A and B are shown apart, each in its own frame.
Chain A
Amino acid sequence: MMDLEELKGDWLNLDFDEREFEVKPDEAVDFARAAGETAPRFLDPSDPDFQAPATFTARFHGRRLLPEEFPKIGLPLDAGKAVMPKRPLRAGAKLIGKSHLHEIYEKTGRSGRMIFLVSRMELFEGQELVSIVDSRMVIREKPGS
């Protein structure tokens, strides 16, 4: 059985990926329209307050969800996503997304232990943190791992 304290000590809070992104206005508008937004600030690029929808950064992902050498303890499944926007993102904004493992915890049920991994991407425009996206993955631990 994997020692979670050891896993945390070895892998938490170490940047393992960095990638550039751009907020393209046509994509932001289609994202908002398909979701059902109705406000002009999300749908009309000529609106003086035009901005990408608050959860738009959830569409950005790094080259990998986990560090390259992370132990193979099972197949990670998508368990959820959290977004913490810090300020509106304008059309054409160029962002840098830096990823690290933010949290590791477990839940034990009748069918055994499940390990939750939270991969956090912090998105910066220049030096300013503009959004945080947490991707929560769950791994049903393989027997004997």
Chain B
Amino acid sequence: MTRGFDDVEFGEDLPELRPDTSVANVTLFTKAAGMFTGRFTDHEAARKQGLPGAIVPGIMSQAIFAAMIHRWAPEAELQTIDTVFRAPVIVDQPHRVTGVVTDMDDETRSVEIDLTLQNEAGETRVLGTATVRLP
């Protein structure tokens, strides 16, 4: 399904995403990203480093934000995405990603989206803002 600029409403919520933060999936990501440290894939190794458990890499949270946008608007062209890593995203714990359209530019047919990744307690772990151009 194509979602064009004219199909979007200001204030529209993107469909919520439940990202796969299992050890197996984070391991797939870290290998692809060349990140070879136990803090991302091994709870015990992470605890030895003072972390509460293995953590999802920040750039994986960022890539999850981008994937959420593409699920909503498959032909969206990402122009910028800025993420703030506020607190660790713990591997194997359930999280939810939400997004809302906060600005629209008729001239460039682009929209701004605020993105949030929260844990089950409703605590925000990662924040993001993306600008995407739509057909």
Contacts and interface: CB of A to CB of B under 8 A. Distances in A.
Contacts, number: 100
A93 interface: no
Contact of A80 (B35, B67, B74, B85): B85
Interface residues of B, number: 32
B28 interface: yes
Interface in B72-97: 74, 78-85
Contact of A34 (B29, B84, B85): B29
B32 A30 contact: yes
Nearest to A58: B59
Interface stretch (B4-12, B18-26, B114-122): B18-26
A59 B79 contact: no
Contacts of B70: 37-39, 42
A54 B79 CA distance: 9
Interface in B99-127: none
B28 A85 contact: no
Interface in A55-70: 55-56, 58-59
Contacts of A80: 58, 82-85
Contacts of A97: none
A82 interface: yes
B17 interface: yes
B68 interface: yes
Given A54-B81, A59-B33, A82-B80, 5 more contacts: A30-B28, A35-B63, A55-B78, A78-B85, A83-B78
